[in-house]
Amino acid sequence: MSRRLPLLLSAALGAAVLGAAPTAHAEPAPAAPAAAPAALGSQPYASYWYPNTILNWDPATDPDARFNRSRVPLQPRTTDPALKANPNARSGEGKVASLVSFGPTSNNPSQGSADPNYYAFGYWQYVDKLVFWGGSAGEGLILAPNPTVIDAAHRNGVKVYGTVFFPPAAYGGQLQWVRDFVQKSGSGYPVADKLAQAAQYYGFDGWFINQETGGGDSALATEVRNLMQYTKAKSSTEFMWYDAMTESGSVSWQNAFTTANDSFLQEGTRRTSDSMFLNFNWSSGGLDSSRSLARGLGRSEYDLYSGIDTEANGYNSGVDWSTLFPAGKPHTTSLGLYRPEWTWKSATDRADFYAKDARYWVGANNDPSNTTTSSSWKGLSTYFAESSPITAKPFVTNFDSGQGDFYNSGGNRVATGGWNNLSLQDVPPTYRWLVSSTGSRLTPSIDFTDAYEGGSTLRLTGRLDAANTIRLYETRLPVAADSRLSVVLKTPAAGATNLKAAISFTDAPTSFTTLDLGSTGGNGWERRTLDLSAYAGRTIAQIGLQAEGSNPAYDVKVGQLAVYDGAVDAPAAPSGLTVLGAADTVPGTSQSLRLSWTGSTGGAVHHYELYRRNPDGTRSYLGATPSDAYFVNRLDRVGTESATTIEVEAVSTEYGRSTAASATVSWTGTPPAGGNLALNRPATGSGQCNANETPAKAVNGTVNGGNGDKWCTTTSAKWLEVDLGSAHPLSKFVVKHASAGGESASYNTRDFSVQVRNSTTDPWTTVANVTGNTAGTTTHPVSTTARYVRLVVTRPTQTSDPAARVYEFEAWGA
């Protein structure tokens, strides 16, 4: 904890990792780009500005603006100290602020993407504020969060802040940018007005101000404070201030709340900011004096967030936990986390990310109640009690994490290929995981091989030899005479589920009442709807599951859990579906679209789903959003069709579905007679060696982007699958191995096969089988028709190296 420029240096490194422009040697701010090209149908991105360019921002003329709006309001939260998982955790004391870089400052897609490799954060129950971290001298200093993050955070009751970042001169900072920031027009601050407008229009809660540009004076520091006080007087916009600039105008990290920086939090009777992030080099004495000073100014010590830097080492970072959270005493301050997405960036695959994220948040035992470990990092559940946003009906969860390798609707596969979209993330379980049993304990997990709605489901596996109670959600749901509890589940074969729904009530919150879910009639998804009228007038405090019986290989998937009143209501249909613009992806064959519509009247809409109508009458899923506008990154022409019908339907908060509104997209020109049909198609794989070596790299059309321009995996079973969108006649496959991308020929794939099928329910058919290959590029003539194609690697290299390296997998046809 000795870094001099902790937030700046980490931001510069993060920008390099994410492919952003470097902060050093930045040129003056460029003019705002012209809006016209974006209106044609190209990818919309999250907004970022310099102080002078934000003055020209107007959501009425910014074609990306409506794609960056969050439609999920901030939910209230509840916490019952009697239900906290960890006996050492405290409620109502220190809070958690998390500074996270979800993507680069520029070119950050507004509404998710076709890449399943994403920081799909799922421990919202421990976080109070999330800062959408970013900004750089070479791209923009003011960064607004994208709507997917706002939607997910607000659904969980977590506030979201954008970032205003002024770097030191050594990293491209210019003091003029700070002066531009506080420029005045009469008695007003025009940039402040735009900050408030952006927060209000996009639907987020405030701004994190990180002013690390040196050379200022006390007059400039006073104007920065005046700007925040002005904004707060005119709007509900909140601010978090970073301990860098002092009242003298110099940049001098105090590592505490002192008389040199206190007026950036409170100035007499005026509230300057809502909280302060203290730099990382704090000490016991410094935090004690910080607490005393805050109280003396009429502010809570929990408005101070003592920073810890986990960007480089994650849960291996050294932290003086006993100073922050002394045993048996109140928390000293709140906690500021810097870059917890280390758990994702350092992970080798999604399973590794989930394991690391669990250890970061709930400790090495994957159990928030048991944080006993020899490691000094016990997990944050040791100190903070869980909060829950489940305070009103209906409550529905599909255990969708906001990412996946396919998309299911009602248990049916409607799209293949990877994706991420946190707008679709359900409220994650409050307790991950709490299982009590007198015998073997079952293992709950988020499973990505199946889903009822979305891309994942809850799965319970293990040896069942005694009763297992799995606590899932803390709630505060009043039961009415027509209340129902619905569970959708699946077993490997027909028979007893050995499973019961478990609920407790606020008058006895730790005592569960169980309702049997019976037996299944097959191996598909089945719904059980349970009448709760016997409990009318009581309030549900917890929802869980209880498994009881004997099964050495227990395996049950829970696809949906819901509490609602009366029948499942279908929402009113949306209307006015309009194609705002289209852009060719492959001329005559595929295009991207910007769509908008008028939302359903009467509210109660969870999200809207978009589909294309196929020539055979079936539908294929294109995407979903809570908003009234959506970007479709790729719509493929099927055969020689002259037009494609697009449909949008509303999905209610109870998961009833409306009728669809439709629009037509016309095709011009003649489709190419043949080509690489796998190019930029949705691709999934058995795993990946590094975060940037995704399946998508094997279908991006290039081999010259260095070692990161490939798909790589070390999984025991190695496969790469591509969805061509519809069945096509295929004439050949081309595989470009390691040496095609410039690596050693000893890494070329030695043994592999190519397989095809037309439906996800069909068996795979092998159309090419290769052993003993040494070449860098191989071509495999075929005569077949297929929609799905797969490369299966059985011996990845010429040596014992276990990594498969594929730079391109091409499927040629008409």
The structure's pTM equals 0.88
Per-residue confidence (pLDDT) for residue 19, from 0 to 100: 30
First vs last C-alpha separation in the chain: 60
Residue 421 half-sphere exposure toward CB, CA atoms < 13 A: 26
- DSSP letter string, 339-378: -TTHHHHT-SSHHHHHHHHHHHHHTTTT-TT----SSS--
Secondary structure of residue 654 in the 3-state scheme: coil
For the residues 287-308, what does the mean pLDDT come to?
98
Element counts in the chain: helices (H) and strands (E): 11, 43
Query: What band does 17 get if pLDDT is binned at 50, 70 and 90?
Result: very low
Given a contact cutoff of 8 angstroms between Cβ atoms, the answer to whether 449 and 490 are in contact is no
User: CA 568, CA 655: separation in Å to the nearest integer?
Assistant: 7
User: CA 14, CA 7: separation in Å to the nearest integer?
Assistant: 10
Residue 2 has pLDDT above 50, yes or no: no
Residue partners of 600: CB distance under 8 A and separation at least 6:
571, 572, 573, 574, 650, 658
Return the ∠ at Cα 555 (arms to 552 and 561), rounded to 5°. Answer: 140
For the residues 14-30, what does the mean pLDDT come to?
32
- CA 127 vs CA 317, 336, 401: distances in Å: 19, 10, 17
Residue 441 has pLDDT above 90, yes or no: yes
Which is more confidently placed, 420 or 668?
420
Query: What band does 7 get if pLDDT is binned at 50, 70 and 90?
Result: low
Residue 53 has pLDDT above 60, yes or no: yes
Which phi and psi (to 5°) does residue 191 adopt?
-65, -40
Taking 3-state DSSP, the helix, strand and coil percentages for the chain, each rounded to the nearest 5, stand at 20, 35, 45
Return the ∠ at Cα 276 (arms to 270 and 282), rounded to 5°. Answer: 135
Residue 28 has pLDDT above 70, yes or no: no
Residue 3 has pLDDT above 60, yes or no: no
Residue 669 has pLDDT above 90, yes or no: no
Secondary structure of residue 6 in the 3-state scheme: helix
Per-residue confidence (pLDDT) for residue 759, from 0 to 100: 86
Given a contact cutoff of 8 angstroms between Cβ atoms, the answer to whether 632 and 682 are in contact is no
Give pairs for 58-63: CB < 8 Å, separation 24+.
59/197, 59/201, 61/35, 62/35, 63/35, 63/38, 63/39, 63/580, 63/594
Residues in the chain: 814
In this structure, the number of other CB atoms found within 10 A of the CB of residue 602 comes to 11
Q: Tens digits of per-residue pLDDT, 492-501?
A: 999 999 999 9
Per-residue confidence (pLDDT) for residue 181, from 0 to 100: 98
Given a contact cutoff of 8 angstroms between Cβ atoms, the answer to whether 612 and 644 are in contact is yes
Identify the sign of the CA torsion 189, 190, 195, 196: positive
Query: What band does 35 get if pLDDT is binned at 50, 70 and 90?
Result: very low
Query: What band does 39 get if pLDDT is binned at 50, 70 and 90?
Result: low
User: CA 47, CA 132: separation in Å to the nearest integer?
Assistant: 12
Which phi and psi (to 5°) does residue 620 adopt?
-120, 135
Q: Answer whether the bond into residue 361 is a cis peptide, omega within 30°.
A: no
Per-residue confidence (pLDDT) for residue 4, from 0 to 100: 37
- DSSP letter string, 717-768: SEEEEEEEEEEEEEEEEEEE-GGGGTS-GGGS--EEEEEEESSTTSPPEEEE
Give 514-542 as a 3 state SS string: EEECCEECCCCCEEEEEECHHHCCCEEEE
Per-residue confidence (pLDDT) for residue 674, from 0 to 100: 80
User: Do β-strands 96-100 and 334-338 pair in parallel, antiparallel, or remain unpaired?
Assistant: parallel
| Nearest residue to 627 via CA among 645, 650, 658 | 650
In this structure, the number of other CB atoms found within 10 A of the CB of residue 566 comes to 12
Per-residue confidence (pLDDT) for residue 418, from 0 to 100: 85
Given a contact cutoff of 8 angstroms between Cβ atoms, the answer to whether 248 and 217 are in contact is yes
Extract the tokens encoding 766.
């092998």
Per-residue confidence (pLDDT) for residue 6, from 0 to 100: 44
Given a contact cutoff of 8 angstroms between Cβ atoms, the answer to whether 18 and 119 are in contact is no
Q: Tens digits of per-residue pLDDT, 321-361?
A: 999 999 999 999 999 999 999 999 999 889 999 999 999 99
Average pLDDT, the chain: 93
Return the ∠ at Cα 397 (arms to 396 and 399), rounded to 5°. Answer: 175
For the residues 208-230, what does the mean pLDDT come to?
98
User: CA 483, CA 256: separation in Å to the nearest integer?
Assistant: 51
For the residues 65-89, what does the mean pLDDT come to?
97
- DSSP letter string, 64-116: TGGGG----PPPP-B--GGG-SSTT-BSSS--EEEEE--S-SSS-BBTBBS--
In this structure, the number of other CB atoms found within 10 A of the CB of residue 318 comes to 10
Q: Tens digits of per-residue pLDDT, 501-545?
A: 999 999 999 999 999 999 999 999 999 999 999 999 999 999 999
User: Do β-strands 483-490 and 551-565 pair in parallel, antiparallel, or remain unpaired?
Assistant: antiparallel
Buried b (16+ CB within 10 A) or exposed e, 482-494: ebbbbbbbbbeee
User: CA 302, CA 108: separation in Å to the nearest integer?
Assistant: 33
Strand partners, 402: none
User: CA 768, CA 778: separation in Å to the nearest integer?
Assistant: 11
User: CA 275, CA 266: separation in Å to the nearest integer?
Assistant: 9
Extract the tokens encoding 518.
């019976």
User: Do β-strands 683-685 and 718-736 pair in parallel, antiparallel, or remain unpaired?
Assistant: antiparallel
The DSSP symbol for 587 reads T
Residue partners of 322: CB distance under 8 A and separation at least 6:
none
Residue 231 has pLDDT above 60, yes or no: yes
